[in-house]
Amino acid sequence: MAPDVKQRKYQVIGTRPVRHDGVDKVTGRAKYGADQRLAGMLEGAILRSPHAHARIRRIDTTQAQAMPGVRAIVTAADFPEQGDRIVELGEGMANMRHLSANVMAREKVLYKGHAVAAVAADNVHIAQAAAQRIHVEYEVLPAVTDVRAAMREDSLILNEEIRTQAFGSAPASPDAKPTNIAKHFVFELGDLAQGFGSAEVVIEREFDTSTVHQGYIEPHNATVSWNADDRVTVWMSTQGSFTARQQTAELLQIPVSHVKVVPMEIGGGFGGKISVYLPPVAALLSKKTGRPVRLVMSRADVFQGTGPTPGSHMRVKLGVKRDGTIVAGDAWIAFEAGAYTGSPIGPACMCVFSCYNVPNARVEGFDVCVNKPRTSAYRAPGSTHVAFAIETVVDEICSQIGMDPLTFRLKNAAREGIRRVDGPVYGRVGLEETLAAIQASEHYRTPLPGKYQGRGVASGFWFNVGLKSSVSATVNFDGTVTLVEGSTDIGGTRTSIAMQLAETLGIAVEDVTPTVVDTDSVGYTDVTGGSRVTFATGIAAVEAAKDIQRQLVQRAALLWNVDPSAVRYEAGSVWGPQQQCLRFKELAAELPTTGGPIIGRGTSSEATQGGAFATHCVDVEVDPDLAKVTILRYTAAQDVGTAIHPSYVEGQLQGGVVQGIGWALNEEYSYDDQGAMRNPTFLDYRMPTCYDVPMIDTILVEVPDPQHPYGVRGVGEVPICPPPAAIANAIYQAVGVRMRHLPMSPPRLWAELSKNSS
């Protein structure tokens, strides 16, 4: 821990209580989306395109419709026309025409796995058989699957209505030429030419990363009941019940108040369960049949129809003085948006130089449509890609000028007062503390002498978001509190929020019962994403606790017949002017006779958070015959602000690291020349197993974020950013080759090793 970090003592915060939903989750009682069962429920199946790019000429459903047990079929013809409406959906905007066409293909299919029609039947087997009897006539078109090919003037165009939107400029004229380049970003800072002119060492490298998937274990699901009064209820696993409600309502063009989303337990999301795929489809099937309809994706559907995060091509150039001072940086980044616009190219451009003071910089970014699934957010979207590029270039510069990579980073580290290339000036952030923590760690100071072994370090950044949250909290007469919240709990946030309420009220966290409720039962709450829940919903819980305190003070004043201004709330008790004292539980028992129930309300609407930085250190061993990389040891240091529940904070770091290891070494969509994914199974899309990784050591650095009452910083996303670069740097130390294409799988590493030896 950094020496300047002030230690604060809390009663609840920093402890490791058992999570409130834990028993349900170790006994099989917790209900996830696919566990939903309703009387009269039908099951559905979706027919998906076998082609990566084709025009739909005709869909014939007669044979399927005639099968016994088939109750309804829907195609795009059943969906309302959207036009080019741009709608704010809670975490970013979406063009409704594209969102609708992604849910059910209209004129064209734009990727293999694109939904074309859906069936509801008495059981899933009948529905699947019927889907195969829907005949679709396609005019197959060539597939555009490479980002650079898609950017060429003469490329086949996926979406005829797309014109390049230049960041900060007026919308492009509809008369402009159609293009696959949907967005173009440029950020500039200082004087680039002068900067590079003053550089003594300049390195420029190109990088590629393959398409990867979020890989949550629970497939997408939705059960929908469209009632005779046109009220629609959706049971699903989602990262955001309110954004799911809004997307469903917009896609069906019904009032948002007519849709209720009941969030079931969610089996992982990592950004991939924000956009909706199934609810509008199940809703239309339910409307046609008058019965509830459940849709659950297969794993192949999940790979081919949801997620992934973009493949990319990047060029990064960095100029430094011989003493290691960065003077200029230039980056060119092209992301595969997939079928429709919306890759995280903006965040990528903002993140590429985010760990450094780069006084003269230029970043150019492109959002490019290709015949792959429409991409969605994945844990620090865009930041891992660019961290791989910049952090390996930094490592190469360190080798060239003979400087320790942590010393170099400390010399140039982003800190308070430094302006990022996209404009914002950092407040108090903890990158330097994470660098110092790794430098001081036993791991970094232990020599690694083995042949074919190497050590690498890398840093990473993620903004973290604020956005909107609501909670309410009822004081029960027995002195416990029922906490109602809108943030779906993807990894223990019921407890991290309840702990902040308990801390503020001065009661035990076991006396708080948190419940995640449906969209009719709590105020608007944005998605569980952007590492925001413990931060932003935490602020709402603190506000609710303060609201309860105010009301308890009034009740005590009534009991003691004194003015409320003479009563204060402190350490779980109310105190009167003559040092009268009632503990929380004692006063709760008085509520029925002093005015009845007390409900605390809390909301938050924060524009930003302070941002999170991480520095990782990894030791690898390369098998020179198999070109296989083994992770020997891993340490992740991260500025977590204040660790509310340290076990779940560590868990976020460990989970992010292992996802990053998968991205670094194995995971990729393998495409054939027709644009078909060849590996849509967990056997062939190779995520890390527990046999592939060691224990992941964590160092929690606590530099409190002044924007949060307890100093919380979001922790969930940044841990995925450094691993690919740290591993690439370690591979260089081990075998002397620089890897510039993710994943660094055995075939790719073998090719580089062979070049080196020949």
Partner 1 sequence: MTGWGVGMGKRIVQITVNGDTTEFLCEPRQTLLEVLRNTLELTGTKEGCSNGNCGACTVLMNGLPVVSCLVLAVEAAGAEVRTIEGVARGSHLDEVQSAFLEGAALQCGICTPGFIMQAEALLARNPQPTEEEIRFYLAGNLCRCTGYDKIVRAVQRAAQLRQAAQQNGRS
Instruction: By CB under 8 A, name the one of 105, 465, 657, 737 that touches partner 1.
Output: 657
Minimum CB distance to partner 1 smaller for 530 or for 655: 655
CA–CA distance, 82 with 64 (Å, rounded to integer): 28
Tell the smallest beta-carbon distance from residue 302 to partner 1 (Å): 9
Encode 628-651 in three state secondary structure. EEEEEEEEEEEECCCCCCHHHHHH
Residues 85-144 close enough to bind partner 1 by CB under 8 A = 122-123, 125-126, 129
For residue 548, the one-letter residue type is: I
Q: What is the DSSP string of 249-288?
A: HHHHT--GGGEEEEEPB----TTTTSS-SSHHHHHHHHHH
Q: Which helix (H) or strand (E) holds 120?
A: strand 115-121
Going from the C-alpha of 515 to that of each of 72, 144, 228, 481, 503, the distances in angstroms are 36, 46, 30, 11, 18
**Pattern 251-280, partner 1, x by CB under 8 A:** --------------xxxxxx----------
Question: Residues of 9-43 as b/e, b for ≥16 C-beta within 10 angstroms?
Answer: eeebbbeebebbbeeeeeeeeeeebbebeeeebbb
CA–CA distance, 437 with 702 (Å, rounded to integer): 11
Tell the smallest beta-carbon distance from residue 513 to partner 1 (Å): 17
Minimum CB distance to partner 1 smaller for 391 or for 650: 650
Tell the smallest beta-carbon distance from residue 564 to partner 1 (Å): 41
Number of residues that bind partner 1 (CB under 8 A): 67
Instruction: By CB under 8 A, name the one of 170, 425, 607, 683 that touches partner 1.
Output: 683
Tell the smallest beta-carbon distance from residue 583 to partner 1 (Å): 29
Instruction: Report whether 387 contacts 500 (CB < 8 A).
Output: no
- Where do we find the tokens 């002068």? 194
Q: Which residues pair with 139 in a beta bridge?
A: 55
For residue 360, the one-letter residue type is: N
Minimum CB distance to partner 1 smaller for 34 or for 436: 34
Instruction: By CB under 8 A, name the one of 9, 177, 690, 747 that touches partner 1.
Output: 690
Question: Residues of 435-448 as b/e, b for ≥16 C-beta within 10 angstroms?
Answer: bbbbbebebbeeeb
Tell the smallest beta-carbon distance from residue 143 to partner 1 (Å): 26
Tell the smallest beta-carbon distance from residue 260 to partner 1 (Å): 22
> Is residue 38 a contact point for partner 1 (CB under 8 A)?
no
- Where do we find the tokens 């459940």? 294
Q: Which residues pair with 645 in a beta bridge?
A: none
Q: What is the rounded (10 degree) CA torsion for 387, 389, 393, 394? A: -10
Point out which span in 216-224, 519-527, 551-559, 575-583 binds partner 1 (CB under 8 A). 216-224
C-alpha 16 chain-centroid distance: 25
> Is residue 235 a contact point for partner 1 (CB under 8 A)?
no
Instruction: Report whether 469 contacts 539 (CB < 8 A).
Output: yes
Tell the smallest beta-carbon distance from residue 677 to partner 1 (Å): 15
Q: Is beta strand 293-296 parallel, antiparallel or unpaired with respect to 42-48?
A: parallel
Tell the smallest beta-carbon distance from residue 696 to partner 1 (Å): 5
Instruction: By CB under 8 A, name the one of 217, 256, 571, 626 that touches partner 1.
Output: 217
Instruction: Report whether 21 contacts 30 (CB < 8 A).
Output: yes
Minimum CB distance to partner 1 smaller for 56 or for 264: 264
Minimum CB distance to partner 1 smaller for 689 or for 756: 689
Encode 505-561 in three state secondary structure. HCCCHHHEEEEECCCCCCCCCCCCCCCCHHHHHHHHHHHHHHHHHHHHHHHHHHHHC
Point out which span in 159-167, 321-329, 358-366, 690-698 binds partner 1 (CB under 8 A). 690-698
Instruction: By CB under 8 A, name the one of 10, 35, 315, 477 that touches partner 1.
Output: 35
Minimum CB distance to partner 1 smaller for 298 or for 513: 298
Instruction: By CB under 8 A, name the one of 11, 15, 22, 572 that touches partner 1.
Output: 22
Point out which span in 28-36, 193-201, 578-586, 665-673 binds partner 1 (CB under 8 A). 28-36
Point out which span in 32-40, 45-53, 179-187, 190-198 binds partner 1 (CB under 8 A). 32-40
Minimum CB distance to partner 1 smaller for 27 or for 757: 27
> Is residue 687 a contact point for partner 1 (CB under 8 A)?
yes
Instruction: By CB under 8 A, name the one of 148, 152, 299, 322 that touches partner 1.
Output: 299
For residue 637, the one-letter residue type is: A
> Is residue 29 a contact point for partner 1 (CB under 8 A)?
yes
- Per CB under 8 A, residues contacting partner 1 are 16, 18-19, 21-23, 25-32, 34-35, 37, 67-69, 122-123, 125-126, 129, 214-219, 265-270, 296, 298-299, 490-492, 645, 647-648, 650-652, 654-659, 681-683, 687-693, 695-696
